[in-house]
Amino acid sequence: TDPDTVKLGDGKDVKGTRVRIFGRVHRERRQKENMFITLRDGYGFMQVILTGQLAKTYDALTLTRESSMEILGELRAVPEGAHAPNGRELHADYYKIVGKAAGGDEAITNRVSKDTEHATLLDLRHLTLRGETASKVMIVRDAVEFAFNFVYKELRMRKVSPPALVQTQVEGGATLFGLPYYDETAYLTQSSQLYLETCLPSMGDVFCIEKSFRAEKSLTRRHLAEYAHVEAELDFITFDDLLEHLEHVMCRVLEVTLSDPTIKQHILDLHPEFKMPERPFMRMRYSEAIDWLVEHNIDFEEEDKDKPPRPHKFGDDIAEAAERKMTDIINRPIFLTHFPAEIKAFYMPKDKEDPRVTESVDCLMPGVGEIVGGSMRMWDYDELMAAFDREKIDPAAYYWYTDQRKYGTSPHGGYGLGLERFLAWLCKQHTVRDCCLYPRYFGRCKP
């Protein structure tokens, strides 16, 4: 009879059955007369043992890592004291090389490439993706993205798909990618926020998971030119509602993600000391953060490098390094709130009690810093028009956004979460570049 085809991680306890498997050679070694192959298929690993004549064929003697194979055999428990994935191995009675790999391929997996330049690894991303770390991060990413969809659905939120080609800015003109668009100019979107806001009146609370684009010129470990942006917009809420929703979504997404034992194991392999964040998240006002930085002697670095660093003062934009130092020392998620209007986007409304600051929030995570930016939105027409004026943005192109304030306005707010930054925290990766399939950043647009 024709044996069933199984994925390599499936049927963990099935032993004594004959199965067919497909995969690529992750590792191979010879031991006396036998040959051991660890096969990989993206779902798991399986140890295969070739014995007798099967271990002596030309194909077996010249087997190279990454070659793809079809193998038939019987699943057996590994002998006492021996180790193999899921405590079992396949005793092959037939195999075929489907595609022989070139060999000399040591550089393609992360086990043997620790000293290789990161840029070289990224040029070879199509191959380094096969490494254990890279593939685990990508598999966790899939699970996290699914969890966001799931959790938003639990909250009865609607998913929409705003355009990537736009003619407006959201987060300042400096990071816009422009491109010719027929006879006009268009930009790649920096955020879908403004479009999400227009969906509230007919669809209720909405979210999207789309790409956002930023022409960031700085090479940092947390900036990409193209990133996955999880954005949500909620109608008829207060600022406190927004913070509570955000905390719920982040914790529930972690819960759903970790409920899959394979994914949980991947996360623990990548981030052994990972713990569920404690609720409620720490709340810290921007002004308290400035005091904290002064007390801890973390200075403000002047843009003009000839000027010496100085203590932080109210109104400073807290830079990436200072923010990360603070987050690492506090070592738990922080909702940093109430930023001054001058350092935040034009659409953020003033706080009623303290008009120096806005109803805004960043969520900071240890190891990464800011992973979420959100706020309430100005919902009064005149206030918004004044904000455009202050920022010297011509409101003409935003008629569809300002109309919102004319046709049944409402207090609303939302946020954007950088998926790669969330993953850098969750999977303890040094850089967001390792948290996407093919990173795009200043100087790189390949492979």
Residue in the structure block whose two tokens are 């996360």 = 267
Q: Phi and psi at residue 126, in whole multiples of 5°? A: -60, -25
The least distance separating ligand 4AD from the CB of residue 434, rounded to whole angstroms, comes to 13
Stretch that binds ligand 4AD, among 76-84, 109-117, 237-245, 372-380 (CB under 6 A): 372-380
Q: Which two tokens stand for residue 96?
A: 């075929």
Nearer to ligand 4AD, 23 or 413 (CB): 413
Stretch that binds ligand 4AD, among 106-114, 203-211, 319-327, 369-377 (CB under 6 A): 369-377
| Contact with ligand 4AD (CB under 6 A) among 214, 266, 312, 433 | 214
What x/- string results for residues 83 through 102 when contact with Mg ion is judged by CB under 5 A? Answer: --------------------
Residue 205 interacts with, from ligand 4AD, Mg ion, none (CB under 5-8 Å by kind)? none
Q: Which two tokens stand for residue 191?
A: 């955020």
- Asked if 340 is part of the footprint of Mg ion (rule: CB under 5 A), the reply reads no
Nearer to Mg ion, 63 or 424 (CB): 424
Q: Which of 245, 249, 232 is nearest to 414 (CA)?
A: 232
Nearer to Mg ion, 100 or 325 (CB): 325
Cα separation, 97 vs 11, in Å, equals: 24
- Asked if 432 is part of the footprint of ligand 4AD (rule: CB under 6 A), the reply reads yes
The least distance separating ligand 4AD from the CB of residue 226, rounded to whole angstroms, comes to 8
Residue in the structure block whose two tokens are 């409620």 = 280
> C-alpha 194: how far from its chain's center?
22
Nearer to ligand 4AD, 38 or 193 (CB): 193
- Cα–Cα distances (Å) from 108 to 119, 308, 430, in that order, read 13, 44, 19
| Contact with ligand 4AD (CB under 6 A) among 231, 351, 359, 434 | 231
- The residues, ordered by sequence, that sit 6+ positions from 250 with a Cβ below 8 Å of its Cβ are 277, 333, 363, 372, 417
Cα separation, 274 vs 423, in Å, equals: 12
Q: Is 392 helix (H, G, I), strand (E, B) or coil?
A: coil
| Contact with ligand 4AD (CB under 6 A) among 73, 162, 374, 439 | 374
| Contact with Mg ion (CB under 5 A) among 73, 131, 349, 373 | 373
Residue 380 in contact with residue 339, Cβ under 8 Å?
no
Cβ neighbours of 215 (radius 10 Å): 14
- Asked if 193 is part of the footprint of ligand 4AD (rule: CB under 6 A), the reply reads yes
* DSSP code at position 10: S
Stretch that binds ligand 4AD, among 176-184, 294-302, 329-337, 366-374 (CB under 6 A): 366-374
- Asked if 216 is part of the footprint of ligand 4AD (rule: CB under 6 A), the reply reads yes
DSSP states along 18-68: EEEEEEEEEEEEEETTEEEEEEE-SS-EEEEEE-GGGGTSHHHHT--TT-E
| Contact with ligand 4AD (CB under 6 A) among 47, 67, 86, 191 | 191
Nearer to ligand 4AD, 35 or 365 (CB): 365
Residue in the structure block whose two tokens are 């990173």 = 439
Strands 282-285 and 226-235, how do they pair?
unpaired
| Contact with ligand 4AD (CB under 6 A) among 171, 210, 247, 323 | 171
- Asked if 337 is part of the footprint of ligand 4AD (rule: CB under 6 A), the reply reads no
- Asked if 223 is part of the footprint of ligand 4AD (rule: CB under 6 A), the reply reads yes
How many angstroms separate the first and last alpha carbons of the chain? 44
| Contact with ligand 4AD (CB under 6 A) among 21, 372, 376, 435 | 372
Q: Which of 333, 422, 360, 350 is nearest to 171 (CA)?
A: 360
Q: Hey, which residues between 399 and 428 contact ligand 4AD (CB under 6 A)?
A: 414-418, 420-421
The least distance separating ligand 4AD from the CB of residue 416, rounded to whole angstroms, comes to 3
Q: Which amino acid is at 342?
A: E
| Contact with ligand 4AD (CB under 6 A) among 6, 75, 151, 170 | 170
Q: State the residues that interact with ligand 4AD by CB under 6 A.
A: 170-171, 191, 193, 214, 216, 223-224, 227, 229, 231, 370-374, 414-418, 420-421, 432
